[in-house]
Amino acid sequence: MDDRISLGVDTNCVPDIEETLQFSRSSGYDFISVPLVHPRYRRPFDALVIKRDEPLTRSDTLLGSNDWTTSVIGKISPWLDCDSESAAIRSRSEKAFKQEVAWATHLGLHAVMLPAPRFHSTNYSHVINHVVSNLSYMQAWVKIPLVAPEVLLQDDDHQQSEQEARENDPWEWWNNLRLLAEHNANMGVVLEITADLPGEKALKRWLGEPVKAVILPTSVFLTNKLGYPTLSKKHQAFLCRLFRYRLQFIVTGSPHHKDGLSAYQQYIRFLHRKQSPLTDQEHFEAPYWDYLQAPLQPLMDNLESQTYETFERDPVKYREYERACFEALKKRGKDEETVLMVVGAGRGPLVAGALRAAKQAQRKLKVYAVDKNPNAVITLRNRKVAEGWDNVTVVDTDMRVWNAPEKADILVSELLGSFGDNELSPECLDGAQVFLKDNGISIPSAYTSYLAPLSSSKLYNEVKAYNDRKHFETAYVVKFHNTDQLAEAKPCFTFTHPNRAALIDNSRYTKLSWVIEEASTLHGFGGYFDATLFEEVHLSINPATFSEGMISWFPLFFPLRTPIYVPKGATVEAHFWRHVTSTKVWYEWTVTSPSISPVHNPQGRSYWIGLQT
């Protein structure tokens, strides 16, 4: 975890903003959130034009520009009612709202906090969309409580109707707002922690939303036996999950514990320090969290040394490959020589693993290391000399066209992509299996791709920023972070090797469906794989069966051009195709429930994997 988190204190009436900022800093806080306009200054509704001689609010000269930019979050007046039935009130509220945002922009604030919408806040959403669309650097943070005030006041035995439950779900308020505002990337959420917390599924939804800050009212804190603030176990657990997302935390309300205001920030920082530090794997993955990467094109492009080096750091993948080779070699007689071919040998980690496995199994081994990348072949030949690989023959060619001098007992490859087949392992191994004996072993022997529905405002806006159709019809390698997987991944396409079918057809089609337990927004699908290397030896990036510690593969993300609202209990039905021609392979995908999306990437118009070198 980061050594320090950003903590602020919320203030309402601020007679002297400079003094308030100094006091908050002396109490251990990094910033303050303050009303942009004094709460008593409510512009009159009965006049066509707002006219006052006195200033609207405090002067911008009270703080330096650096303090305004780094140490202040502005709050829009809570009394504004842009959805009032009164035309006059609506009009004045809209003007006042725009006036306050303009002032925040003038101050150079990095964020302004907006009052919470309601389920039917259509005009308010319309006004927000007008304003945030024109923001360049400042962000609009919408305040959303975890539980609606009406629900907190209800009796425990009150049974809400389905419509009432939807209208009283703060996530639905947020979702309606962002739908009306066209998923504007300048909008984020300030999540207000309530005394009661919703269930796990409802809490988990927020992990896929653009939560920028968390409000912690002093009223939700309990008192320990020494008189200091503490949080319930459930609150602590949720807060600890939020620490992973580099959010800002804001304490609000009057202090009612020992040592006053400073006690709250001390407790939050104490909780943060208690978190386990990032593991080596998390340190490796952190720069790639929610970062879109184009999948590799291993046939069309030769990998660079740095890419090989990154993959070779994996502590799990090559251990399991070596174990698979060991188990396969044990099936062979001690006195017979086993011919093992590594196709796509790269810089030789599988070759080295096979040699170690043979030594451990006490079996005679003859190895062919085949690779089409002339640069990788240089490294293979150097290793052959330097490491005494006398029983290894290095072959500089494409495995699909190689005329092997003999047939192999074992064929080993590491051609798997994030989705199993997306780096063309089926096509490559189908070509290479001609030099595998009839009773020969392929490592891997089978692999299955998996798909799961995902909610991730972050990933959607990353793709949307390209502002074209092509990027919404491309699959990306991503280490998911600010995402919510809405249901368990289900099997999609399966391939087995060797493939002894009379006519090999690697095209595929499948229909998958999931029941979604909480109302959510579907932004796309996460793609994973589970591979059988040999018998009981597996590799998997499917979250349900993940090979702990493995870093070679991040999941694949299939985006949707238009996010889809999924009501509570609704079924998501998706269709995926894998198409193959003599020159390329591509995927197409669509959703047919709860609403219909266009077929993405028809005829591979935006994204495909080339079969030609």
Q: Which residues are catalytic?
A: 414, 423
Q: Among 511, 584, 596, 517, which Cα is nearest to 560's?
A: 596
In the block, residue with structure tokens 């979250």: 543
CB atoms within 10 A of CB 207: 18
**23: Cα separation from own chain's centroid:** 38
CA distance 51 to 494: 71
463, 559 contact by CB (below 8 A): yes
Residues 148/170, Cβ–Cβ less than 8 Å: yes
CB-facing half-sphere around the CA of 15: CA atoms within 13 A: 0
- The DSSP bridge partners found for residue 477 are 293, 556
CB 175 within 8 A of CB 521: yes
Q: How many CB atoms are located within 10 Å of the residue 454 CB?
A: 28
Give the number of C-alpha atoms closer than 13 A to the C-alpha of residue 162, restricted to the C-beta side. 5
- The full 3-state SS of 22-57, as one line of letters, equals HHHHHCCCCEEEEECCCCCCCCCCCCCCCCCCCCCC
**Phi and psi angles of residue 255, each rounded to the nearest 5 degrees, phi first:** -70, 135
What tokens appear for 113 in the block?
């906090």
Q: Do 552 and 286 meet the contact criterion of CB atoms below 8 Å apart?
A: no
The answer to whether 174 and 145 have CB atoms below 8 angstroms apart is: no
Task: Determine the 3-state secondary structure of 407 from DSSP.
Answer: coil
